[in-house]
Structure 1
Amino acid sequence: MRTIPLLHPLDDTGRLPRPDHALAGLDAERARIREAAAALAAAAAKPVLSPAVDIARYAHSHYLRAEPTAFGSATFYFHAFTGREPRPEMPREAWDDPALTYEQKRELDAQYTVAESLWSQGRLRIQAAPVMRRAAPLWQAWKETEALLRETFEAFRHSPDGMWRAQLLRLTEAEETALAAAKAWDAVAEELSLLAAEQRRASTEGHELELTTVAAELGLDASDWSIHWPDDYTSRSYSWPQTPTVRALTAEIERQRERLREVARLAGDPRTI
């Protein structure tokens, strides 16, 4: 008869004890191994990032800080721009710097975009101020000559028949004066239109500076000044060879003359006009 040694003593019933405690220890060890493997796998899956590079050295000299907004963008703050500084442009070195991440370059680009917008406002104030001071009396002259032309035409209603030729002379003189004033106004209005368009091109939405605002800062009221888009002054065709104010005046003059011709025909004196 052979004797087999037992690893564990028999219990009171003469049976081998259940190895629950051994299985529990084994399960715990297996769980720890699985957790360690999962942690290693997760660490291996993460990209290795280089340390963040400080972008402050590429910031504009007027830059103060950036604050995040609720919409995922940022609000940038700067020292005031006068418009006499060089146009803000993101340094070429920043675009070419391999240490900068794409997001960092985007942040710098956004910063310089806002800087250029604010700079363009100062630039417009400098450039538009002397033009506006010239424009104010020209606009006043135009409005006065326009009013005089209308008054001269209305005087026909009260002129005796024998005075119509004299009144026609006064009307043609008023037309010439108004036409000269309209041309002078359109010339200065074109300058202001081009300056405003340049500022709009250099600014982002919400940073456009209105000419009326610049005028108010100078103590001028430009709320009724007639200033059109640059194309209305520069892109003239055969059908529209005149500038906006001159074109409107010419139409008014033609309307008045047509009215006088109609009255002359009704009066049986077509030679009057």
Structure 2
Amino acid sequence: MTRTIPLKHPLDDHGRLPRLLLDETSRLPQDIRDAAAVAAASAKPVLSPAVDIARYAHPHYLRAEPSTFGSVTFYFRTFTGREPRPEMPREAWNDPALTYEQKRELDAQYTVAESLWSQGRLRIQAAPVMRRAAPLWQAWKEAEALLRETFEAFRHSPDGMWRAQLLRLTEAEQTALAAASAWDAVAEELSLLAAEQRRAATEEHELELTTVAKELGLDASGWDIHWPDDYTPRSYSWQHQTPTVRALTTEIEQQRDRLREVARLAGDSQTV
């Protein structure tokens, strides 16, 4: 699996890398499509002799080479995500034998390694959740469609059939609410996993959940997944509802308001 990540920003005053930015791996020559990652240093970085910092390199690290526009290309063996989180050894930071530039180079190496690792980890963690999510999304969309069809049926129901249609509507509401709640539960799991990956790799190097789903043979392009905070109860809210349930509840209330208005105009206050 190939990974090419150009970091087009210079290092900051503390020698830390800023954000990462994905590039298309298809532009790499075939012979370097192992797991390349590009980290921008200062205008003209000078690579340290490999022997000087090799003892601190990540186990997956292969080599580093100067690249275009004053950047450095780091090569790694493919990360599965099952490895421990890449982290620059504390000993390297405290090693007086290493120069400031060498420590910056090691920091860049580990920054790229963590980003590649976070993608593999998301793939491992999200795969079983997505397989559970696919049928739940389908069930929710079917329940939502049934609810809307049941409501629209009032337009064609004779007056004497409205109470029977109301029974069908309440049953459709209950089914839809249960399906919406089940979807929100699994969507929250996926949202948290995606947020964890963004924290590890920065937003610019985010691995989209739709990409992970596609690799599994699933189409998640329409899945409604919100930010993690949207699933968290707020202290000032007396009744918390998850995003899909909240939207569905609003739709149900609008349907009921419409039916009550029709009943009022018809002089039938007992209908709804």
TM category, shorter: 0.7 to 0.9
Aligned-pair CA distance for 1:77:
1.6
SS at match of 1:271: coil
Aligned-pair CA distance for 1:141:
0.1
Aligned-pair CA distance for 1:239:
6.3
Aligned counterpart, 2:10: none
Long gaps (5+) in structure 1: 1-50
Task: Determine whether 1:250 maps to 2:240.
Answer: no
2:119 to 111, 118, 121: 121
Aligned partners of 1:206 and 1:79: how far apart in 2? 22
Q: Structure 2 vs 1, CA of residues 78 and 205 (structure 1 numbering), >3 Å: closer, same or farther?
A: farther
Deviates more, 1:199-208 or 1:115-124: 199-208
Aligned-pair CA distance for 1:208:
1.1
Question: Identity of counterpart residues, as a percentage?
Answer: 87
Which structure shows the bigger proportion of residues in helix conformation? 1
Asked if the contact 1:113/1:204 (under 8 Å) is kept, the reply is no
After superposition, the CA RMSD in angstroms is 1.5
Aligned partners of 1:199 and 1:225: how far apart in 2? 19
Aligned partners of 1:197 and 1:235: how far apart in 2? 18
Asked if the contact 1:95/1:105 (under 8 Å) is kept, the reply is yes
Aligned counterpart, 2:25: none
**TM-score normalised according to structure 2 size:** 0.79
Aligned-pair CA distance for 1:240:
6.5
Task: Determine whether 1:193 maps to 2:191.
Answer: yes
The C-alpha deviation readout for 1:142-196, integer Å capped at 9, x for no partner, is 0000000000000000000000000000000000000000000000000000000
Aligned-pair CA distance for 1:94:
0.5
Q: Structure 2 vs 1, CA of residues 205 and 186 (structure 1 numbering), >3 Å: closer, same or farther?
A: closer
Aligned counterpart, 1:93: 91
Q: Structure 2 vs 1, CA of residues 205 and 173 (structure 1 numbering), >3 Å: closer, same or farther?
A: closer
2:133 to 132, 135, 139: 135
Q: Structure 2 vs 1, CA of residues 204 and 63 (structure 1 numbering), >3 Å: closer, same or farther?
A: farther
Deviates more, 1:75-84 or 1:214-223: 75-84
Aligned partners of 1:206 and 1:264: how far apart in 2? 54
The C-alpha deviation readout for 1:35-74, integer Å capped at 9, x for no partner, is xxxxxxxxxxxxxxxx977111111111122233444332
2:145 to 132, 144, 147: 147
Asked if the contact 1:264/1:272 (under 8 Å) is kept, the reply is yes
Which 4+ stretches in 1 moved above 4 angstroms?
none
Aligned partners of 1:205 and 1:190: how far apart in 2? 19
